[in-house]
């Protein structure tokens, strides 16, 4: 079978982020081809060892973990491109783009997790008759990406994972034309934590910030009840618990956390000690800037970015949005061409 899709794997979109800091594009340029082996996933929580993993009565299943190194230097993305747009770039107009944000309780997951069809663009591209470009990238997880609270608002970057995702969308705006993509026709897709993330981009600063996509498709958004960002509130208490596990005591000392040598172990233990009820200990939190109120409240009050067109796709019981869209060419065209 002739090759129909080119895959540009482990494209670096961000330099190694400062611990608990905002991400940024690489500060250097390099004209050499980057080896695929340079790619890494963000540090994960192993939920297989938790007594009560996120999901309550329907706990999240543990996916097959890819044999990819984990590191704090993990801001890489993959691009799936129909071969013809590279080989014959002048024949048609640029192609619409799907950006996939993965799920995983904001604790685990990666752009290539377990080789799942959710995490590669082949199905979407085939269902669109090879008229779509698919992008998926990593964002920081657990405490690395989602510590928040009053102290973090002054000392570091709360909700850093959202900023990682925003950098993916910004990268698409600046670079997707190089592989035949249309930066003015970008669609954001996600499931579970990824779906919630998409909606949090819509409510950014009460909807006043352009999310850098035109349409979206989400399933089972995982909302967090992480709103208590007052001084010594619930979010600060989670910070102190994590700080203690990392060897910094129950004090507000971000520099100690940045120097800690057992942060990944502390991240794992936080989930083992906090997730006794099956609830998510970390995730998008009210921070007074990006998230000014719980996302369901913001959406209900109309504090979200107005896209040019909204529509609803009925989803049969027990069906998956990815399965629906990859088998329904009319539906996928609705999402991509709106």
- Choosing from 192, 241, 295, 304, which is the catalytic residue? 192
Nearest in space to 131 (alpha carbons), one of 173, 175, 180, 168: 180
Residue with tokens 């869209």: 325
Q: Is-contact 277 181, C-beta < 8 A?
A: no
Q: Residue 184, SS3? A: strand
Tell me if residue 192 is catalytic: yes
Q: Which residues of 233-242 are buried (b: 16+ CB within 10 A; e: fewer)?
A: ebbbebbbbb
CA distances to 26, 50, 53, 193, 272 from 278, rounded to whole Å, are 38, 9, 5, 15, 10
210 φψ region: left (φ > 0), alpha (ψ -120 to 50), beta (else)? beta
Nearest in space to 268 (alpha carbons), one of 28, 53, 111: 53
Instruction: Please give the positions annotated as active site.
Output: 192
């Amino acid at each position: 079978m002739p090759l129909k899709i080119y895959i540009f794997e482990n494209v670096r979109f961000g330099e190694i982020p400062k611990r608990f800091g905002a991400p940024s594009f690489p500060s250097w340029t390099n004209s050499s081809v980057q080896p695929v082996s340079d790619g890494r996933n963000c540090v994960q929580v192993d939920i297989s060892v938790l007594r009560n993993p996120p999901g309550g009565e329907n706990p999240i299943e543990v996916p097959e973990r890819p044999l990819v190194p984990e590191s704090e230097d993990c801001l890489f993305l993959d691009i799936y491109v129909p071969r013809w747009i590279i080989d014959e770039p002048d024949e048609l107009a640029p192609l619409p783009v799907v950006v996939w944000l993965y799920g995983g309780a904001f604790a685990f997951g990666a752009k290539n997790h377990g080789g799942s069809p959710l995490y590669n663009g082949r199905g979407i591209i085939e269902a669109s008759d090879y008229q779509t470009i698919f992008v998926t990238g990593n964002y920081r997880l657990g405490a690395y990406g989602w510590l928040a609270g009053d102290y973090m608002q002054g000392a570091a970057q709360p909700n850093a994972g959202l900023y990682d995702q925003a950098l993916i969308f910004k990268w698409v705006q600046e670079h997707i034309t190089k592989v035949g993509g249309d930066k003015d026709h970008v669609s954001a897709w996600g499931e579970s934590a990824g779906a919630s993330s998409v909606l949090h981009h819509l409510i950014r600063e009460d909807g006043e910030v352009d999310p850098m996509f035109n349409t979206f498709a989400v399933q089972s958004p995982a909302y967090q009840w992480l709103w208590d960002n007052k001084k010594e509130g619930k979010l600060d208490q989670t910070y102190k618990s994590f700080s203690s596990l990392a060897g910094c005591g129950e004090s507000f000392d971000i520099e100690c956390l940045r120097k800690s040598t057992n942060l990944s172990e502390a991240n794992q233990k936080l989930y083992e000690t906090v997730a006794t009820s099956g609830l998510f200990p970390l995730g998008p939190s009210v921070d007074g800037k990006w998230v000014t109120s719980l996302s369901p409240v913001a959406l209900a009050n109309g504090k979200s970015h107005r896209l040019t067109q909204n529509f609803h796709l009925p989803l049969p019981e027990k069906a998956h949005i990815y399965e629906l869209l990859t088998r329904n060419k009319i539906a996928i065209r609705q999402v991509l061409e709106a």
